[in-house]
Chains A and B, each alone.
Chain A
Amino acid sequence: MKRILLGNEAIARGLLENGCSFAASYPGTPASEILSTFLQMAKAENSPALGEWSINEKVAFETALAVSYAGGRSAVSMKQVGLNVACDPLMSSAYTGVKGGFLVISADDPGPHSSQTEQDSRMMAMMAKIPALDPSTPQEAKEMIGAAYQISEEFEIPVMVRPTTRVCHSRQGILLGEIPSPVLPSGFPKDPQRWAATPRYRFTLHLKLNQKIEAITEKYGKGSFLKVLGNKSARQCIISSGVALAHTYDLIKELNLENQIALYQVRMPYPLRAKAILDEISPFQDILIIEETYPVIEMQLAMRNRIKGRMDGSIPPQGELVPDVLLESISTFAQIPGEKKPLPSGKPRRPTLCPGCPHRAAFYALRQALPDGIYPSDIGCYTLGLNLGAVDTVLCMGAAISQAAGLYHAFRIKGEIPPIAATIGDSTFYHAGVPALINAVHNGARFVLLILDNSTTAMTGDQPTPALERLADGRQGKAVAIEDLVHASGVQNVKVIDPYELEEMTKAIKEAHKATRSENGEVSVIIARHPCLMSPGASKKQKVYCMEVTEDCVACEICFRDFECPAIGPDPQSGMAKIDQNICSGCGVCAQVCPQEAIKTKGSEGTRIQGAL
């Protein structure tokens, strides 16, 4: 039976069909749907498989790895920059190896579309010395889960499956298999020389790891190199992997190049059985390697004078390999005239915080309170505070707090310290903000920290945070409150405010800043708490106003330029503010923003507009 599934759903299904008993993850585009689907499908099939949203990727990795140490099949999934956070256990677990099959699913984002970098997880696999499988379609991703578990258990090694955005977020008819009982933990085999190896034994583990990789290359290297297109007459060849292979396949067909070009797929880019591949491709005159995003296959095939790819610029060394890019590269390679293709014109609409988003109110208050401030920020929906001019830095998860501290110390040396106000989301605070806050307090940094608490992981699709008792698998967990963590980090000055109360919020930020500069000043924390309106049920719990713009509007544009509400725009004729009732959430904050008091609520409380956000 076939069912239409998203790539991430196909991966989740693959995990269940191959007996995964435990999966852990931290949400991040493009990997977020894997864990939630895994748990939904497990529940629907009455499978005893478990899983969790962990606090961050390192914790997710270590938790799932321990299940494997105890003999159960397990998996950890994350986006590629999440693997950076989990890099420490990744490197070490390659040495210790595993017992039950253990998969690291790291989803890359060539482009990048929703990430800080377009780094290649396969290179991380290479550095860790673990095999990496590279699916080109959702169907293949599901199939590779089985192959990956087989290798993992046979050689007691973690195995990476590396989908990219266009696999994760593609939809395809997927052949479904049976869901067996999961491979449950059998017991923890005590073996301190392995699981608790000291450096002396680590050398031995490294030796064993090298032997494993050699044996995997020998056994699986050849079978993972497949000819997928090309006639006997072909004199050129393209080697490809991942979704780039799928696009190359379509282009060779479209251009009728099968008599000229043979296409090979590498299903396991690391370890590569280079000798066998070089023997196979040596009859070809020219060889082009097409892969995303870094030259992982290319680097392993040492035949520099004949191989073209990302390293000699035959393929652009950065960016997603979309059909238009590949068409140009393949046309040049095949020496056929490239057709002039129409190019995109017009800029895409930029994303914005939703109408009624509590972050917008918090950012607006921040700009009002500390207009000359420096605003380090972080990763999440609230990165879109950029549109309000309230975000100055975005580095990586948790960096807002460490960078605010660093900026304070930088200016302390200089002697003049501008206002510094960091913003971080609630989920990001749990993920990597807590150690940064302890460090800032301990080392005497002074700045305002706004924790934008919308009680969810909003950007990635409403995953629960540790502040909630709702767990990923439906069980009830224990809530861990943000304010308790803030207090325990040594912060004395903590306030919780609803950012919809704009005046109070602005005043509190001013006072918090003043406190940081008082004689015994330190970090001041404001928890700006208001639920995300996208969370189910949240918008029904708040007052909804029907807003109108009166004749007092002087077209100052503050409500849609500075406050940047997407539900307000200029009337084409008069230039006065006009509210789009189809998308207005009725939050009423704009009425507090308007200096002319020209935005008013119609009656005391309007009726909710059906279908509005």
Chain B
Amino acid sequence: MKMQIAITGRGGQGVLFLTRILTECALDLEQEVIASETHGMAMRGGSVISTLKVGPFRGPLIGSGQADLMLVLDEGSMETFFHLLSKDGTLFLNSPSSGSHPFIDATGLAAGIGSPLMANLVLLGFTLQHNKLFCDYPLTESVTGRISPERFREANLKGLKLGYSFPSSQRPG
């Protein structure tokens, strides 16, 4: 099992939390995992990226064209990191529309349930319905529930479910 995943967005959008969920899922599956995160000044609204490698890797970073999956929370940061995506890779985009990638208006949907900051979980749920991640929905749901702070648990799980059950007909062909 080898999978390289990049998660990007703006500082404050919850890229770090998604990274945590996925590393914990890998541990639950007894897979080796190493992930790199962006901390420091870029977290103040700048473009941030986490890279996550599941399998027998030693280094945490991903080279150009090596990412099997990419989760993009901020469309404005997409171009900066798009070169990481493998030519066979899939990109899941938080956007009301997109020509070439599976997309979901995660921010809009999250705002609709009263928590715009849950867009990260909506996008993760949406990604899970495509069965391309190394982990499945039930595991991800249980990990999310386990590591969410008490006051956000319910909203986080709601967001994840919303993305997972989003009508697939709205995906581009």
Chain A interface residues (CB < 8 Å from chain B): 2-4, 6, 29-30, 32, 113-114, 136-138, 166, 169-173, 243, 245-251, 322-324, 327, 341-354, 381, 383-384, 459-460, 566, 582-583, 610-613
Contact = CB atoms under 8 A, between A and B. Distances in A.
Contact of B12 (A250, A345, A613): A613
B135 interface: no
Ranked nearest first, the 10 interchain pairs of A and B with the lowest CB-CB distance are A346-B79, A114-B40, A351-B46, A323-B63, A29-B40, A348-B47, A246-B59, A247-B59, A341-B64, A342-B83
A166 B115 contact: no
A121 B70 CA distance: 34
A16 B77 CA distance: 39
B24 interface: yes
B63 A347 contact: no
Given A4-B27, A114-B39, A341-B64, A250 B57 contact: yes
Given A247-B59, A250-B59, A171 B40 contact: no
A503 B105 CA distance: 40
A323 B33 contact: no
Contacts of B81: 344
B36 interface: yes
B83 A341 contact: yes
Interface residues of B, number: 51
B99 interface: no
B57 to A, nearest CB: 6
Interface string B13-42: 000000110011011000011111111111
Contacts of A248: 59
A170 B33 contact: no
B43 interface: yes
A327 B61 CA distance: 12
Nearest to A113: B40
A169 B38 contact: yes
Interface in B55-89: 57-66, 74, 76-83
Main secondary structure of the interface of B (DSSP, over half): mixed
B161 interface: no
Contacts, number: 160
B117 interface: yes
B35 A171 contact: yes
B27 A352 contact: no
Contacts of B65: 341-342
A139 to B, nearest CB: 9
Residue from the set A4, A32, A136, A166 with the largest chain B CB neighbour count within 10 Å? A4
Contacts of A249: 58-59
A283 B76 CA distance: 52
24 contacts: A4-B24, A113-B38, A169-B39, A170-B34, A170-B60, A171-B19, A171-B23, A171-B34, A171-B37, A172-B60, A243-B59, A246-B59, A247-B58, A250-B57, A324-B63, A341-B64, A342-B65, A346-B80, A348-B80, A349-B77, A381-B41, A384-B44, A460-B40, A583-B116
B115 A610 contact: yes
Contacts of A345: 79-80, 82-83
Contacts of A113: 38, 40-42
B93 to A, nearest CB: 15
A503 B55 CA distance: 58
Interface string B134-164: 0000000000000000000000000000000
Contacts of A251: 63
A343 B64 CA distance: 7
Contact of B77 (A30, A341, A342, A348): A348
A383 B41 contact: yes
B76 to A, nearest CB: 6
Contacts of B116: 582-583, 611-612
B58 A246 contact: yes
A354 B39 contact: no
Given A4-B24, A136-B58, A246-B58, A341 B36 contact: no
B61 A322 contact: yes
A345 B80 CA distance: 5
Given A250-B57, A349-B45, A610-B114, A323 B36 contact: no
A118 to B, nearest CB: 14
A29 B34 contact: no
A324 B83 CA distance: 11
Contacts of A30: 39-40
